[in-house]
Chains A and B, each alone.
Chain A
Amino acid sequence: MLLFIATIALLVGGFLALVARGNPLRAWLSIASQALASTLVLTAAVPVLFGAAPLEALLPWPPPLGDVRLQVEALDAFFLCFSLPMTLLGSIYALGYLEPYMKSKRHVGAHFALLNLTSLAFIIIYTVENSYAFLLGWELAALAAWLLVIWDHGNQKIRFAGFNYLVSTHIGFLLLVAAFIVGGNHMQSNDLSAVGAFLQEDTFLRDITFVVLMTSFGFKSAFFPFHTWLPRAHSAAPAHVSALMSGVIHKAGIFGMIKFTAMIGEPPAWMGWYVITFSIASAVMGVLYTVSQRDIKRMLGYSSTENVGIIGIGIGLGYLGLTWHQPALVVIGFTGAILHVLNHALFKCLLFYAAGAVYRATHTIDLERLGGLRRAMPQTTLFFLVGSLAISALPPLNGFISEFIIYSGLLSDLAPTAQDRGVLILVVALLAFVGAVSALSVTRAFGLAFLGVPRDPRCEAHGEAVRPMRITMAVHLAGVLAVSALPLGAITLTRAPVADMLRAHGLPATAGLLGGPAVSFTPLAWVFAVLLITLVLVALLRRALTRRHTEHVTWGCGYTAATPRMQYTGSSFASQFGNTFEGILVFLRRFTLPHGPFPERGHISSHCVDSVEHRMFHVLSTATDTVTHAAERLPEDTPISFAIGFVTLVVMVAFLLAGGSL
């Protein structure tokens, strides 16, 4: 089977990258092996995506693992088809991003070998149907991502961010283990279908397992409030690692959500509402935090939380469709969600890569110091602009297309009662808010970094990004434009997974039903066409009117000694919005105000902290304090402490026994 060869190619490539001589050779070996693996995987998976029978195989393995069943269904194929090529692109980008290290003594091969491992982890996660092997792939992806994040491990902050990520991802991992143990134990099998069979039983334990599973996937995909590791990790990691984590690796959480949905059978209504509530909370909170970030990559990290929220709304709609027996809603929900996964991977990676190009050129991604990059980096400017427009779902780009599908589900009349429709309309309003705020924050980032003049002369760029970086960005840009120009083609890619979803629930997968989300697209295409034609006409008109012009300095409203430092800054741009939401966007301010008749020194520094993380650390430290204080009070070597120990032991054993009997 092609996938086996791909696996072996990745392993060999990774090994060669470690042992070969010279950094460039190592990198190229890794890239070559990834290219080979991607080609093989695409050859194997693309037919499945277009309706061929799922690939199946059985890998005999001695217990306790048990036989590992491999299966590539349409959903697996979809995720495989974008994950591997995008990892390959990330590795090509790394070639440019890590160029300063290529001639140094640092072993760059290890980094590329880890990228190979990431690809390998995708193959495992998206093909195996055995819970142990699935967890192995999950853990492999997490560890590889951690080691990739701490590339710059000399920096304590980066080590902390990496450790933070490692802890968070393992909390999620343990929850997943717990869910698998419960499901697998119940059915006495390690096969994931056993978990599926367990999820179909309508028991209390099933409901809890569902919540645990969703929490675990929430950790992986950084849903609010499990997102705290994400902004740190994304700002610490090299740009391509941030891009791959945000766009590709953490989509495994979404994959898990959809995969296990397919197993649930007919979910009760609360599950759909649960997913929608979490998702809209993620979308709103994520987007609120994007407004106040100084660091471009931190901002993009929060925007990942926002986008998985949007994807989650689609999934939640699909759930509700299953509950309400509305196949059309199922189709709309899952099509929107799966398409947004692809779109998000396309434009988020593009934005992270552009941010990386900015970092390479100026050694900072601090919005308060950047400015005027347009002059030195016209191509990166274009890449970032298109990515920004796409991510804030502005027409006619691809983000709008997937959000439009989700809107059409939220506003459809398929909900049984007016109450349900009313709640969905509230979700529409919140989604509109998310879109508008996202437009605010990307405009802010784009405008401050690329337009105007540099705020700090030390952060001036002196040239465009190197070629591998530009090529990668151009490919992503082409992807964004392709999906924008051919939305129906992109929807065709989601057709097979959605059809599988319908069949898994005993619903007929007719062509008319599957074409549902695309119904509005012909008129929408007309609108886009009219928009583009109008744009061209207006541009021509304007050109005819302004043949000649004169140049002057920016009008300073009468003030003539303006300096670059006086431009509007990121904090001032976000200030009024931030004040409106000061309950959520917590600003820490440190300042000494100048005073006296001859004021000399004064400074102010403000910093927007994540209120969830802030609160979490606060609660944790209070809890540690409380426990320490309580422990100090216990007298040593007296019957009382023995008694307390004994009682604790009894309670724990009782819990264990009670858990075993469930």
Chain B
Amino acid sequence: MNPTQLALVAAQLLALLVLPVVMLGLINRVKSFWAGRRGPGLLQPYADMRRLLRKEPVYSNVTTEMFRLGPVVALATSLVAGMLTPLLGPLSPLAFPLDFIAFAYVLGLGRVFLMIAALDTGSAFEGMGAAREATYAALLEPALLLVLGTLALATGDSTFAGLLSWSDLGPFALVVKALCFVVLLILLQVEAARMPIDDPNTHLELTMIHEVMILDHSGPDLAILQYAAGLKLTVCAALIAGLLNPVSWATQPWTGAAVALGLMLAVAVLIGTIESLIARIRMRAIPRYISLAMVTGVLALFLVVLRSEGLS
């Protein structure tokens, strides 16, 4: 590993610590812009988390150690997923062939423990949240792997970083990338519980997904969960940024990293905009919305196969 790569890895680890807060802050800022408010500062989520960290948690007397394990596993898996993702360049610290499978399943592990923690409280609301989370994740998983498989087929690469940095900028590649973008955006909306799937600001438990799952968590546990959710958002945004990044990472690593960072912030602006302009879709319509991702993924795969058949 040369010094540049080491520095990039260090930068990525630092980004994993800082970016989630900034991304959440930026989204809130964009939302306040659309609403005509001045809005909180970019680091407001950080202040919120610090306040929560100082509080004393309250546990339900029904819960067991599973409840306390939930936030721990959720944060650890999000961190590892963050290390598996090419955040600022094709240099995820833990890259290896087929690392994206590990990525998907590590995130799955975190999700399972969140659901277990939710069920541990015996609350019907939290059970409902867990059921929703599980259902949507199950519908989304094939779409994610379809896209990654398609990109692997198109680029002939099998590492996460390699298949995301598809350098082809021809019209065909752009069409496929646009389709993949749609899928990854839906992935972000589901994984990070954003509009139009889930409204992070809602105050009605019956309409929540992620928030209702963590209803009973308080104090430091809640802070950990909020940070983990921000991490997931960052990681998903990084996937989109990696896909759209036109700079060749191999030749200009620092420019590439800067552009990736800029694109991630742009994704945050996009999320804020979507959230301000679009209403949450009805709970029953969500499976249909997610199946849009699946259909788009199949379409991308189909295009890539057709193209390679034509070439070979």
Contacts and interface: CB of A to CB of B under 8 A. Distances in A.
Contacts of B53: 545
Contacts of A545: 53, 219-220
Contacts of B150: 425
Contact of B120 (A425, A433, A452, A537): A452
Nearest to B124: A568
A447 interface: yes
Interface stretch (B29-37, B40-48, B133-141, B246-254): B133-141
Given A404-B101, A448-B119, A542-B72, A440 B205 contact: no
B94 A527 contact: yes
B149 A538 contact: no
B176 to A, nearest CB: 13
B99 to A, nearest CB: 7
B62 interface: yes
A495 to B, nearest CB: 21
Contacts of A111: none
Interface string A510-537: 0000000001100110110011001101
B260 interface: no
Interface string B210-235: 00000110011100100000000000
Given A407-B98, A432-B145, A542 B122 contact: no
Interface in B144-181: 144-146, 149-150, 152-153, 156, 158
Given A548-B56, A554-B122, A429 B146 contact: yes
Contacts of B153: 418, 421-422, 425
A575 B305 CA distance: 37
Contact of B101 (A407, A419, A453): A407
A555 B216 contact: yes
A447 B119 contact: yes
A589 interface: no
Interface string B110-145: 011001101111111111101110110111111111
B75 interface: yes
B86 interface: no
A577 B221 CA distance: 29
Interface string A567-587: 110001111110010000000
Contacts of B158: 411, 413
B132 A576 contact: yes
Contacts, number: 265
A306 to B, nearest CB: 13
Nearest to B127: A568
B152 A411 contact: yes
B121 A531 contact: no
Which applies to chain A's interface (DSSP): helix, strand, loop or mixed? Answer: helix
Contacts of A371: 122
Q: Which of the listed residues A375, A433, A531, A574 has the most CB atoms from chain B within 10 Å of its own CB?
A: A531
Interface string A369-407: 001101100000000010001001111000010001001
Contact of B58 (A429, A431, A453, A549): A549
Contact of B80 (A417, A418, A422, A534): A534
B201 interface: no
A574 B73 CA distance: 24
A566 B106 CA distance: 32
Contacts of A419: 305, 309
Contact of B116 (A421, A443, A530): A443
Contacts of A159: none
Nearest to B152: A411
Contacts of B202: none
Contact of B134 (A440, A546, A549, A556): A440
B112 A557 contact: no
Contacts of B116: 385, 443, 446-447, 451
A551 interface: yes
B216 A395 contact: no
A655 B104 CA distance: 55
B56 A534 contact: no
A447 B62 CA distance: 13
B66 interface: yes
Contact of A552 (B58, B80, B145): B58
A437 B122 CA distance: 22
Interface stretch (B18-26, B263-271, B296-304): B296-304
Given A552-B61, A572-B127, A564 B122 contact: yes
Contact of B130 (A418, A431, A443): A443
A553 interface: yes
B216 to A, nearest CB: 5
B12 interface: no
B122 A439 contact: no
B119 A530 contact: no
Given A425-B150, A435-B141, A564-B122, A523 B96 contact: yes
A425 B94 contact: no
A550 interface: yes
Nearest to A438: B138
B292 interface: no
A574 B132 CA distance: 9
B72 to A, nearest CB: 5
Contacts of A562: 123-124
Contact of A421 (B77, B115, B305): B305
Contact of B109 (A394, A430, A524, A549): A394
A451 B60 CA distance: 13
A326 B76 CA distance: 39
B105 A433 contact: no
Contact of A573 (B63, B131, B145): B131
Contacts of A428: 145-146, 149
B84 interface: yes
B262 interface: no
Q: Which of the listed residues A520, A524, A546 has the most CB atoms from chain B within 10 Å of its own CB?
A: A546
Given A394-B108, A451-B120, A572-B131, A411 B98 contact: yes
Contacts of A407: 98, 101
Nearest to B150: A425
B83 interface: yes
A107 to B, nearest CB: 42
A539 interface: yes
Contact of B131 (A389, A400, A527, A575): A575
B141 A554 contact: no
Contacts of A393: 105
A430 B146 CA distance: 9
B312 interface: yes
Contacts of A430: 142
Contacts of B119: 443, 446-448, 451-452, 568
A572 B108 CA distance: 22
A452 B63 CA distance: 7
Contacts of B75: 538
Interface in B260-312: 283-284, 287, 294, 297-298, 301-302, 304-305, 308-309, 312
B64 interface: yes
B309 A429 contact: no
B79 interface: yes
A554 B219 contact: no
Contacts of A537: 76
Contacts of A69: none
Interface pairs A-B: 3 shortest CB-CB: A568-B127, A447-B119, A523-B96
Given A413-B158, A524-B96, 20 more contacts: A394-B112, A404-B102, A418-B304, A421-B153, A422-B305, A425-B149, A425-B152, A430-B142, A432-B142, A432-B144, A432-B145, A433-B141, A436-B140, A439-B134, A444-B131, A530-B83, A531-B106, A542-B71, A553-B62, A573-B130
12 contacts: A393-B105, A395-B105, A426-B146, A439-B137, A439-B138, A451-B66, A519-B97, A527-B99, A535-B73, A546-B221, A555-B121, A555-B215
Interface of A: 371-372, 374-375, 385, 389, 392-395, 400, 404, 407-408, 411, 413, 417-419, 421-422, 425-426, 428-433, 435-437, 439-440, 443-444, 446-448, 451-453, 519-520, 523-524, 526-527, 530-531, 534-535, 537-539, 542, 545-546, 548-557, 562, 564, 566-568, 572-577, 580
